[in-house]
Amino acid sequence: MFFITFRLAGSLPAEAVERLREDREKELRNVENVAQDKILSYKIHKRYFAKFDELLDGKTQGPMCLDDDRIAKVVAEALHYWDGKRYLLLCYCIMPNHVHLAIDVGQLSKLSFGQFNDVSQFNNLSYVLSQILHSIKRHTAREANKILQRSGAFWQHESYDHVVRDGDELERIVAYMLNNPEKAGLVKAWRQWKWTYIYREMFGEEFDN
């Protein structure tokens, strides 16, 4: 399972993102053995993402194209299109300048890339994930630019992705995504945000109250 965040091109100043990265790398260098101290490394990456996402939520300037229902609909439809084909769609939240997404690639990724003869490629989840994101971002960028009657980069090239370790972490991530619009001051309750989705067959009534 993956938790992914991708954002609009130019949604954050490059220097702000670079400063966050430098702070993260500095912290990681102070860990004697990152490979062994996975918990500490995970906490450092989690803090980096929290600051990164806080910057996105706090932006009042810059591109906010996803606030346009026409654009948000294109993105939502693209995310649902590959559900059951390349991944199981667990949850998403489309914010004005970025998208949060949780998916389970599982065995579906292997089926979707069946045209490849070399099955060793399937052992590289990063490869599978990059192909999925490339397809989503390419299609949505093209369609969004048509609607906006513009050209050029729509999405920022890089994205943030994180392997979800277990069910408890997944529940925390889903709660975070659903509450993101409320936390950003866009709505008073998460249910009021139009562009969220949750796979209720997996989570049952947990998020129904």
Q: Would you say residue 191 lies in a domain?
A: yes
Residue 35, pLDDT score = 58
Q: Would you say residue 15 lies in a domain?
A: no
Q: Would you say residue 193 lies in a domain?
A: yes
Share of the chain above pLDDT 70, in %: 82
- Over range 143-155, report the average pLDDT: 96
Indicate the pLDDT class of residue 140, thresholds 50, 70 and 90.
very high
Residue 32, pLDDT score = 65
Residue 40, pLDDT score = 77
Residue 71, pLDDT score = 98
On the question of pLDDT at 207 being above 90, the answer is: no
Higher pLDDT, 208 or 149: 149
Q: Would you say residue 152 lies in a domain?
A: yes
CATH classification of the domain holding 196 = 3.30.70.1290
The tally of domains found in the chain comes to 1
Residue 119, pLDDT score = 41
**HEC string for 2-22:** EEEEEEECCCCCHHHHHHHHH
On the question of pLDDT at 16 being above 70, the answer is: yes
Check: CB of residue 7 under 8 Å from CB of residue 154.
Answer: no
On the question of pLDDT at 179 being above 80, the answer is: yes
Question: Which range of residues forms the domain containing residue 113?
Answer: 2-8+65-201
Q: Would you say residue 138 lies in a domain?
A: yes
Of 50-54, 63-67, 92-96, which gets the smallest average pLDDT? 50-54
Share of the chain above pLDDT 90, in %: 46
Q: Would you say residue 29 lies in a domain?
A: no
Whether pTM > 0.95 for this model: the answer is no
Check: CB of residue 208 under 8 Å from CB of residue 174.
Answer: no
Q: Would you say residue 44 lies in a domain?
A: no
Choose from 17-26, 73-82, 103-112, 184-193 the range with maximum mean pLDDT: 73-82
Q: Would you say residue 85 lies in a domain?
A: yes
Residue 26, pLDDT score = 82
* Residue 204 CA: distances (Å) to CA of 136, 189, 200: 28, 20, 5
On the question of pLDDT at 115 being above 80, the answer is: no
Query: CB under 8 Å to 113, separation ≥6 — which residues?
Result: 86, 121, 122, 128, 131
Query: CB under 8 Å to 110, separation ≥6 — which residues?
Result: 119, 122
- CA-nearest of 29, 60, 28, 63 to 47 is 28
- Over range 184-201, report the average pLDDT: 92
